[in-house]
Structure 1
Amino acid sequence: MRRIGIMGGTFDPIHIGHLIAAEAARDSLGLDEVWFIPTYHPPLKDNQPGVSSELRLQMVQEALGGNPCFKALDIELQRGGMSYSIETVLELKKRHPDAAFSYIIGSDRINDLPKWHRIEELAELITFIGLEREGIPVQLNQLPDNLRQRVTMAAMPAIGISSTDIRSRVQSGRSIEYLVPDTVHQFIKRRGLYES
């Protein structure tokens, strides 16, 4: 059975931290692949993505380059509306019955697990790979037993990069060199993304 990690997020824009997190999870837990799935409308975020779903998907595709272990999927963008993980996992399991799926999530999402839509059902279908984000301690002991048992922590280098900071840097004319893959940097410059 193939072991697939799912990286969901707005990827507005995708950055080096996302790629390092995906590789850390893949390497630590022996995943065969990591699938990056941009959300259409994230349920636990108040603000909407800054650029269109098409541009965010293109940036993800640019970032993944030729890595045979990484793949971009537009499943949530095609579905539209609120991007609930349970709907995505049910669809993926239908399309790929030979795969075992794990969501790769940071500290903030681990701590939010009880708030996820239909989390009890989701936790029966998949596992979670937790990565501690700098400045956001994981509170596994605060989770209900059934959720805590479904989370496996993976080691990740401490990297304080965020999409919010990258957007702010572009808007104020500061460099984002090395914070995003060069292909994404060039894409943002060519399209004039996040400048205002």
Structure 2
Amino acid sequence: MLTDLSPLIAATARWLTGAYPASGGALATALCEAQARQAVTAAAWLRYPTEIDAGLVTMAGPGGAARLDWITGAEPADDHPAEEWAWRTWVDEVVASWAAVLLTDAELASLAVAALADGEHTADTAAEFRRLLSPDDGDRRAAALLRHPDLMAPVAGLHHDQLLVRLTPGRSLAA
């Protein structure tokens, strides 16, 4: 059973940077992609914290980008050949939503990265989340759309409550 989340992380980060592209040239694009990948990685590791969880999502599939496209007004996949859009089946809506929250809420991003410290995914790797947690001015300019709370709100709001429950176990949503 495949337990590598990299296809899901790559596709979801690609979707985010396509929906909320960088402002500027090649360097801005690279900085925006790095921030998206760090946010998506943290979100994916939170969503699928064990190898069993990762294995199950790779067997069942994460669900694809159709609802995210509809919410953001992106083009439907029907307009393009299937081979150009196959990666979109690996987009995970919950992971994209959680990543959107992490990109727009520094406090929750810090809580999320702290929650990863004892997880299975970070046991053998020195994960770096500097661009997510402490973006400099260049990072902020490059990812102005990706980090804009109002623009990201439709995606962030989809599963925001689930992220809060994951980061604060025992918390009641009614509170």
TM-score with structure 2 length normalisation? Answer: 0.30
Q: Which has the higher strand share?
A: 1
Higher RCO, 1 vs 2 (CA within 8 Å, ≥6 residues apart): 2
Q: Which has the higher helix share?
A: 2
- The structure with the largest alpha-carbon Rg is 1
TM-score with structure 1 length normalisation? Answer: 0.28
